[in-house]
Structure 1
């Protein structure tokens, strides 16, 4: 089991690297640095394909192909392939130790399926020329991999389960769901290059309800930068995408901050609550900074890293919480989520 445990934690760390580096590749406009898959112009490295890459770059100096972009794209593929092999190893060890309480072989098997589908999404990302639905799915697949590995890590580490009132448990479940929706909105914003559709804050184009084309913005089956009818995607459609992400951040941030405060009020979960509050506030600051500073690449990558941290943290929190019995009813409003006093906490 020691090898199984070490492999899970190593894969979890590598997944975080792959997710963040994948965001960096996309933000650096290197997603088509190698226009074929799985190699680069049929070669195993950009070094071996240098002649083809330099020829493509000479033909279109402002295009998506260049030697630096090719290396970025291929390094991401090498890391992802290494992660896939590690996850297969995790599944093999999980079944070998299936009698052990922390093995969870079916979750490990599900993880293999997710990674295989993630590999196909990576292929389609290139061969279908960065279609927003495919690229967003690829991002969500990476975060799903992170979430499953976090769950496995919590299980194999024997993370302490805390008994909490049912309302707090369901608040944590709802928080994870709200976060998933917000991550999807963030991915849609990034893959449609709508992060700078609004350059002012907190308003957008000087308004709290800007002119926006939501119909074309959220039409899933279309080409990058185009409507479903083949027209260029308008600024109002990009504004709709960006503004939806901001409104989602307002909702998700509020829900997660309330959850963090509720956890921080209880001694056994205080550390998790403080960590959640800090992660949410940091993510909000990064989002605002990206708008104010016109999306510098390091900050944009850090914003993606912040989303990964929140996903991992929320999965860990949900793993730790369990409800038993019925807690004393709380007052309406915020009191339904927040414990009232240490005495009421002990009763719960």
Structure 2
């Protein structure tokens, strides 16, 4: 080694040390954001829960779309003799790595879930409504992990795979409820729009949920099973795809009706913008859906369609929460809105 080389090595070591110090500092900041929580950090943890639950739903679909659904053929081990990927005659190293990587992401979702619980337990004043919602996250992760074992042990039966995705949809809803509630007070809900418009919002949520269920039936009937050993629903693919498309048009019609009603009644701008964003997301999702159908469902477009379905779900929930108020964050319960909360 020459003298000219030494400064560069020293600089490299200093750079590595700086990166480690920065990572350590960020980890401490993350810990303190939960342990010394404020209403703002609770809201950020809830948003993180929405993101990671949506993310693992998409990565779970990627596992199936790459044919890696049984890359780890056992559960909780990856192979009969190992918790981590090991040489296995029936599965390629790449498929095993993809499936095992998705399993590891469960620990990220769990870490965020624990962060949510710690934050709502440590924030002052503690709000029981947030505590209940936060505890859904780690309990839901446990249920999802156990159900993942059922999926593997049933060789990717389309029913168990469909339930696995729908559990993620439920987790997203609970996480978004935590996010929305952490940014408002504990007053009884006060409608910001006409009662019938609020009812239309609830109908739209039910329609989107039905659309998601129809979507998993199409997925369970289509070609991307996740593994050659996986079974499929025995439906005619064109019939279920057509049914799914009909549900799309129903959701689009309801969304347009909601947007129109919000505008003609001069409803709050946030609710109108939320409905407009929802309509835009739905239109983009519809374009992807039709394109993937006519291109014989290429894996990449199917993955984008799964991402779009989670975004449609989140945007729908957001609109419903924007049509009512519980007062500003920190506002105490007064009872003055009880008549409005009861719909009087």
Name the TM-score, length of structure 2 as normaliser: 0.73
The equivalent of 1:61 in structure 2 is none
Of 17-26 and 7-16, more deviation after overlay is shown by 7-16
**Equivalent of residue 309 in structure 1, options 308, 311, 316:** 311
**Equivalent of residue 152 in structure 1, options 174, 178, 199:** 178
Deviation at 1:66, TM superposition (A): 1.7
**Equivalent of residue 35 in structure 1, options 73, 76, 79:** 73
Matched residue SS, 2:70: coil
Tell me how far apart the structure 1 counterparts of residues 236 and 130 of structure 2 sit (CA, whole Å). 44
The equivalent of 2:108 in structure 1 is 82
When Rg is computed on C-alpha atoms for both structures, the one with the higher figure is 2
Unaligned runs of 5+ in 2: 1-36, 225-229, 326-336
**CA shift digits 1:91-150 (9 cap, x unpaired):** 233234374459611112233332222112111111111111111010011111111111
**CA shift digits 1:200-226 (9 cap, x unpaired):** xxxxxxxxxxxxxxxxxxxxxxx8236
Structure 1 outlier segments of 4+, above 6 Å: 159-162, 323-326
Tell me how far apart the structure 1 counterparts of residues 190 and 311 of structure 2 sit (CA, whole Å). 21
CA contact (8 A) 2:72 2:100 kept: yes
Name the structure where helix makes up a greater proportion of residues. 2
The equivalent of 1:165 in structure 2 is 194
Tell me how far apart the structure 2 counterparts of residues 161 and 313 of structure 1 sit (CA, whole Å). 21
The equivalent of 1:258 in structure 2 is 257
The equivalent of 2:137 in structure 1 is 111
CA contact (8 A) 1:151 1:316 kept: no
CA contact (8 A) 1:261 1:273 kept: no
Give the count of matched residue pairs: 279
**Equivalent of residue 207 in structure 2, options 175, 178, 187:** 178
Deviation at 1:315, TM superposition (A): 1.3
What do you get for the CA RMSD once the two structures are aligned? 2.7
Q: How does 1:132-151 map to 2 (within 5 A)?
A: 132-151=158-177
Unaligned runs of 5+ in 1: 57-64, 196-222, 227-232, 327-348
Matched residue SS, 1:314: helix
The equivalent of 1:320 in structure 2 is 322
Tell me how far apart the structure 2 counterparts of residues 132 and 171 of structure 1 sit (CA, whole Å). 32
Deviation at 1:45, TM superposition (A): 3.2
